[in-house]
Amino acid sequence: MATPIAMLSRPGRRALPATRLLVRQSSTSQGQNWAGHPFDVAKDNVAQLAASPRRALTLADLLKHGRPPLSKDALLASANFTLSLLPARLASRIQALRNLPYIVVSNPHVSKIYHNYVHSLSTLIPYQQRRITTLEEENQFGDVLADLVQTHTNTIPVLARGFLECRKYVSPADVTRFLDTHLRARIGTRLIAEQHLALHYASQPLSDTPSETADGPKQQSKIPSNYIGVIDTALQPASIIRLCEDFVGEICELKYGVRPTLKIGGQPEASFAHVPVHVEYIITELLKNAFRATIENGNEREPIEVTIAAAPDVPGNERPVQGDTDVGFELDVESDGGSSNETIGNWTPSSQSITIRIRDRGGGIPPEVLPHIWSYSFTTFSDMDFQSSDNGGMDALNTISASSGHLSSIAGLGYGLPLSRAYAEYFGGSIAVQSLWGWGTDVYLTLQGVGRID
């Protein structure tokens, strides 16, 4: 890890590292440099970038460049759109981390996240000096985005560990306030980067001379036609619920020796456009809570009831992001271009949404616990449970992560419900909990779709 943050300059203040990252100069085909001078991340432009005017992100923004494979113009437009958004977001996070109390920022886990953001911003600044105008430049930019996504893969568990170690020095309200903003901003940063990466890879032509493998010629992986980048335009929540049921059920059998049954009712055939990884993470967390409560309450023979209800479409009422407006996106984007949406047949904005009710007979939530379920610093696990459990001090039932490794385990840290709510609310959804103490709990998850895409 990078050198620890410098010591206090005077009581009550801390001095952050004057990290001077030199950006390697590279020439374009026209002989112009991406960057003509070193970029001092600690002093240059961070405040200006963080304060730039921004707007909310919608699913429609991510869909507007069309279905892959994209044309050259559409791919360059997507790259420049992505580039116009990311630097300000990263600068905003650097600024927020600098404003934390010294005892928190000096924690090695939090410091690691700070230096990760500094590194990522330094790799983007050279590209911000001008527009991406060639496929070669777009390809190089794709490599930078891939590095950015990989660098921030474990941001959530690393931050979780840092704040857990600092819990004696920062109030739960301050922890929740910071993490609520930071983690929602991370959702958008990662989503916008992964969306262009998915479009980039899906738009690469098949090789004229495919490489040979043990099984024959290597073929380009086929992207399902219902996917536009990382968005599934025909996502069926029922299928994700069944996948999550199997996953959580296997962990229950490992820990308790039994698993509850799950019944799906309502409209199991309902579908809409959303991000599958987000939905899978939320459903996994909610089912984990329902399964565990049901078994520990001795009601494993009682089925967990899941009801799916699709709201009727209401044209012209698309809802924007709820949790990212204070660290959102730049208003002026010149990269939209005339090719946007050129391969999408018909797209109708709407308030299309799907609500999922998860009902369990787990005895409900104790009244003294209920007020704390949305706090990032709250957990029902004791310190003894945390220290004695397997998997690095984490309970087996809580070793939950999203698909494709996008979210690492944050078990035992009390982040499941608030982080699930952050994912749900990001595009205008919600999570509501109704507990009947002594009986069970109903959780209502509403997810906002992007509308009908033909």
Question: SS3 sequence, 70-96?
Answer: CCHHHHHHHHHHHHHHHHHHHHHHHHH
More confident of the two residues 147 and 372: 147
Binned at pLDDT 50, 70 and 90, residue 127 comes out as confident
pLDDT of residue 18 exceeding 90? no
Binned at pLDDT 50, 70 and 90, residue 175 comes out as confident
pLDDT of residue 406 exceeding 80? no
Using CA atoms, how far apart are residues 450 and 63, in angstroms rounded to an integer?
9
Averaged pLDDT score across all residues of the chain = 75
Look at residue 453 in the predicted model and tell me its pLDDT: 57
Binned at pLDDT 50, 70 and 90, residue 12 comes out as very low
Using CA atoms, how far apart are residues 34 and 137, in angstroms rounded to an integer?
10
Binned at pLDDT 50, 70 and 90, residue 154 comes out as confident
Please give the share of the chain, as a percent, with pLDDT higher than 70: 69
Look at residue 128 in the predicted model and tell me its pLDDT: 79
Binned at pLDDT 50, 70 and 90, residue 40 comes out as low
Look at residue 204 in the predicted model and tell me its pLDDT: 86
**Rounded mean pLDDT of 108-134?**
91
Look at residue 176 in the predicted model and tell me its pLDDT: 83
Answer yes or no: are the C-beta atoms of 450 and 317 closer than 8 Å.
no
Q: What is the pLDDT of residues 193-243, one digit of tens each?
A: 999 999 999 998 754 434 444 444 344 456 678 899 999 999 999 999 999
Q: What does the H/E/C string look like for the chain?
A: CCCCCCCCCCCCCCCCCCCEECCCCCECCCCCECCCCCEECCCCCHHHHHCCCEECCCHHHHHCCCCCCCCHHHHHHHHHHHHHHHHHHHHHHHHHHHCCCHHHHCCHHHHHHHHHHHHHHHHHHHHHCCCCCCHHHHHHHHHHHHHHHHHCCCHHHHHHHHHHHCCCCCCHHHHHHHHHHHHHHHHHHHHHHHHHHHHHHHCCCCCCCCCEECCEECCCCCCCCCEECCEEEEECHHHHHHHHHHHHHHHHHHHHCCCCCEEEEECCCCCEEECHHHHHHHHHHHHHHHHHHHHHCCCCCCCEEEEEEECCCCECCCCCCCCCHHHCEECCCCCCCCCCCCCCCCEECECCEEEEEEEECCCCCCCCCHHHCCCCCCCCCCHHHHHHCHHHHCCHHHCCCCHHHCCCCCCCCCCHHHHHHHHHHHCCCEEEEEEECCCEEEEEEEEECCCEEC
Answer yes or no: are the C-beta atoms of 261 and 303 closer than 8 Å.
yes
Look at residue 72 in the predicted model and tell me its pLDDT: 95
The first and second tokens of residue 298, run together, are 């001795």
Using CA atoms, how far apart are residues 386 and 399, in angstroms rounded to an integer?
12
Which residue, among 254, 198, 297, has the nearest Cα to 389 in the 3D structure? 254
Highest mean pLDDT among 20-24, 327-331, 342-346, 448-452: 448-452
Look at residue 420 in the predicted model and tell me its pLDDT: 93
**Rounded mean pLDDT of 354-370?**
95
The first and second tokens of residue 36, run together, are 């003509």
pLDDT of residue 270 exceeding 60? yes
Determine which of 122-126, 144-148, 278-282, 399-403 has the lowest per-residue pLDDT on average: 399-403
pLDDT of residue 3 exceeding 50? no
**Rounded mean pLDDT of 245-274?**
94
Look at residue 315 in the predicted model and tell me its pLDDT: 53
Binned at pLDDT 50, 70 and 90, residue 43 comes out as low
Answer yes or no: are the C-beta atoms of 272 and 232 closer than 8 Å.
no
Look at residue 321 in the predicted model and tell me its pLDDT: 41
**Rounded mean pLDDT of 371-376?**
86
pLDDT of residue 288 exceeding 70? yes
Binned at pLDDT 50, 70 and 90, residue 379 comes out as low
Answer yes or no: are the C-beta atoms of 321 and 188 closer than 8 Å.
yes
Look at residue 313 in the predicted model and tell me its pLDDT: 62
Determine which of 132-136, 202-206, 381-385 has the lowest per-residue pLDDT on average: 381-385
Binned at pLDDT 50, 70 and 90, residue 290 comes out as very high
pLDDT of residue 50 exceeding 50? yes
Look at residue 38 in the predicted model and tell me its pLDDT: 37
Look at residue 311 in the predicted model and tell me its pLDDT: 87
What is the set of domains in the chain, with CATH numbers? 20-202 (1.20.140.20), 227-453 (3.30.565.10)
Answer yes or no: are the C-beta atoms of 292 and 252 closer than 8 Å.
yes
Task: Output the CA–CA distances (angstroms, integers) from residue 136 to 30, 120, 139, in the order listed.
Answer: 12, 21, 5
Look at residue 314 in the predicted model and tell me its pLDDT: 56
**For residue 97, what are the contacts with CB-CB under 8 A and spacing of at least 6?**
105, 110, 113, 114, 117
β-pairing, 212-213 with 216-217?
A: antiparallel
Which amino acid is located at 39 in the chain? Answer: F
Using CA atoms, how far apart are residues 433 and 441, in angstroms rounded to an integer?
7
**Rounded mean pLDDT of 378-390?**
44
Using CA atoms, how far apart are residues 318 and 338, in angstroms rounded to an integer?
22
Determine which of 108-117, 245-254, 407-416 has the lowest per-residue pLDDT on average: 407-416
Using CA atoms, how far apart are residues 144 and 57, in angstroms rounded to an integer?
22
